[in-house]
Structures are given as C-alpha cells and as structure tokens.
Amino acid sequence: MIDFNLDSEHLELRDMYRKFAEERVKPLAHEMDEAEKMNMDLIKEMQQCGFFGIPFPEEYGGAGGDVLSYVLCMEEMSKADASTGVTLSVHTSLCASTIQEFGTEEQKQKWLRPLADGSKIGCFGLTEPGAGSDVAGARTTAVKEGDEYVINGEKIFTTNSGFADTFLVFALTDKSLPAHKGMSAFLVDRNTPGITVTADIPRMGIRAASNAAVVYENVRVPAENLLGGEGKGFKIAMKALDGGRIGIAAQAVGIAQGALNEAIKYDKERVQFGKTIASFQNTQFKMADLQTKIDAARLLTWRAAVAKDKSEPYNVYAAMAKLMASDVANQVTRDCVQFLGGYGFAREYSVERMMRDAKITEIYEGTSEVMKMVISGSLNLK
C-alpha cells in the first residue's frame, strides 16, 4: 500500500520547521542576500533547535530523526531562504552523514558528535579548479609520512568553508592509480596549520552562503583521520553526493514553493484593468501548472528520502528528484518574476532573489547533465 501523505509526527515537524522559517529566517533573507553574508546568530539558533542534527542518532548527539524529516526542514528553510538551506544541506548530507556512514566508532564520537549536536559546522572539499563534474580529474594529494598524511592541493566552491570547523577533504593517496581507486577521504580540523580559506567567491545567487576556495599546503593530519580506508575516497564521494542530491532537490522544491506562494499573495492583491491579477484565467491556469510541477518534484524527493530511510537503493531516485526539482525551481521562479511584473524585477521583492538562487540547483552537487548520466546509466542501454 502506498501512502503519499505525511504521518502526524512528520506533519508536526513540518509545522515546527515552517513556523521557524517564517518567523526567524524569512525576515533576514533580503538583508543577508544584500550583505552577501550569512547571519551566524541564525545558524546558532538553528543548531540550538537541533536542525543541524536531524537525521543522526541520539547516541551521537543528533535529534534521532530520519531523512524525510531533514527533507521537510530543507524545504521549509529554503522556502524562506535558499542560502540558509544550502548551509544546512552541505553540513548534514555531505559532511556529517558521510561520517555516519563510513566512520569508525572513534571517528563518529570525535567528528560526528559535535556536528550532530550543533557545536560544529561541516563542509565538503571535492571540487577543484580543474575537476568539477569529472571528479576523477582531481589533483590534490595526501602523502603518507609515518603516522601522518600530508595534504597538498586546492579545492574550490567549498560551501560553508568560511565558517566550517570540520572539512571532509578528498585527496589522491596513490597517483599511479585512476582516482576511482587512488582517492581517499580525510577529516581535517579547520585550525590545522597550512589551510587557507580565501574570501567568498562573488556569485549570482545563494549569496549569503559561504563558498570559497581552500588551499591545502603541507597540511599534516594524523593517519587516524583517514575515513573509510585508503583508495575508498571516490566511492565515498559518490555516496555522499547521492544523499546530498536529496537535500538539494528539497532545496529546489522549497525555492519553487516559496516563490509561488509570494506570487499568489501578490496577485490576489494587485489590481490591473479593474480586477486582481489572480482573477485572470491566464494567471490561474499558469499557477495550476506550476503547483502541479512542484508537487511532482516534491513526491520524487520524498520517494528518494524514504528509500534512503529504508536502506533501499536511492541514487537514481535522488538524481531524478534533483533533475526535476531544479528544473521546476527555475521555471517557477522565472514565471513568478513575471507574475509580479516590474515589482518582480525589483530587488525589494523576494522573487528576483529566488530566481537567482534557483539557478545553482541545476549545477551544484552534480549538474543536470550528470543527473542524466546517472539516470540513463540505470536503463541498461549499452
């Protein structure tokens, strides 16, 4: 029996996330976008509310929730502000969840616990100036010297790097092998000597999020910081991204729903040609199409989340959800700017920010083209 409805526990959680997003996140969104800076008091408050530890067991300091709850939180936060959404997403799905999945008991106590209990923030260093979609083109190295690894290289577009405490970094431990077999994952504390985080990269959207290049110059980490064993890094990165894509799909659904809600509110009040814009059938039919697409994207996202919660294969579901939700977010936000006319184009109204924010959902954590590679790879076409 398939049930497409949330149970009472998830409905309660969604209401709580929604209330927080409306009251605490939304009033800051415009100001943070203009300042191109995250409000760290807001992040602290979210940590205190347990939002940075939703899908992690209580024994590791988490809230003991599931991936579906995290997805609901992602949608609500992103409805109000996509920068806040991605900050939560990279911390949760790319960094902390990966430690939960691949860490030893000692690593979970040392590295996962502070991420899940809200005392630290995580980030994920995979992309390099010369290796974006082609992860295997990475050049950063980690050379073993006694009981340590020495990391050298440069990562770029590392979300959260401006304020993260814990860096999950990927580096080649055996350059003679293809990266699929020669890459490893390391847990690195921000304060380790040799790490330089550049200023944030100026961007079109999600401008309040932190996103910078990180240079690793003779960064020495104890061998015990190796996550999942030598040579396992590529597959760890792929698994991390499979989970991350569910979070970004939820972010995209949130951006889309947030924009449509704003347009509905505006069009019910705005009078032109003697009647509200909402009373034109053109508006009604267009909005009907958009809400249908948002619901479809949300259901795909929930399907991926529930599959992950049930420990079923979810990588293709996650790719489908992200592909569709990011496309929908771009269509919806573009149309919502149009619904508001000149005001839609004005920075004072949030839909223009949402349109700029939507674009990145088609790019990060795997471009739409990479999503199609993953999905078509499951179709036995060869």
The secondary structure element, H or E, covering residue 224 is none
**Helices (DSSP H) in the chain: which residue ranges?**
8-20, 26-35, 40-48, 67-80, 82-89, 97-102, 105-107, 113-116, 179-182, 233-269, 281-309, 315-339, 341-345, 350-359, 368-377
Q: How far is CA 1 from CA 5, 296, 376, in A?
A: 12, 19, 28
Q: 3-class SS at 253?
A: helix
**Helices (DSSP H) in 149-232: which residue ranges?**
179-182
Which of residues 88, 195, 241, 294 is near ligand CAA by CB under 6 A? 241
Parallel/antiparallel/unpaired status of strands 148-159 and 166-172 = unpaired
Q: What is the footprint of ligand CAA within residues 158-217 (CB under 6 A)?
A: 158-159, 180
Contact flag: residue 325 with ligand CAA (CB under 6 A): no
Q: What is the footprint of ligand CAA within residues 289-308 (CB under 6 A)?
A: none
Residue placing its CB nearer to ligand CAA in the complex, 90 or 263: 90
What the block records as the tokens of 280 is 């034109």
**DSSP assigned state of 131:** B
Applying CB under 6 A, the site for ligand CAA has a residue count of 25
Which of residues 235, 286, 334, 372 is near ligand CAA by CB under 6 A? 235
**Which span sits near ligand CAA by CB under 6 A: 194-202, 260-268, 351-359, 361-369?**
361-369
Q: Is 365 a catalytic site residue?
A: yes
**Which span sits near ligand CAA by CB under 6 A: 16-24, 121-129, 288-296, 347-355?**
121-129
Contact flag: residue 18 with ligand CAA (CB under 6 A): no
Contact flag: residue 234 with ligand CAA (CB under 6 A): yes
34/134 Cα distance (integer angstroms): 33
Contact flag: residue 263 with ligand CAA (CB under 6 A): no
Asked whether the beta carbons of 141 and 149 are under 8 A apart, the reply is: no
**Which span sits near ligand CAA by CB under 6 A: 95-103, 283-291, 300-308, 370-378?**
370-378
In the complex, the smallest distance separating the C-beta of residue 248 from ligand CAA, rounded to whole angstroms, is 7
What the block records as the tokens of 357 is 């924010």
Which of residues 124, 149, 170, 349 is near ligand CAA by CB under 6 A? 124
**Which span sits near ligand CAA by CB under 6 A: 3-11, 69-77, 127-135, 325-333?**
127-135
Which residue in 39, 90, 26, 78 sits closest to 208, CA to CA? Answer: 39
Q: Which residues bind to ligand CAA, rule: CB under 6 A?
A: 90, 94, 124, 126-127, 133, 135-136, 157-159, 180, 234-235, 238-239, 241-242, 315, 364-366, 370, 373-374
Give the residue numbers annotated as catalytic, written as ranges.
Answer: 365
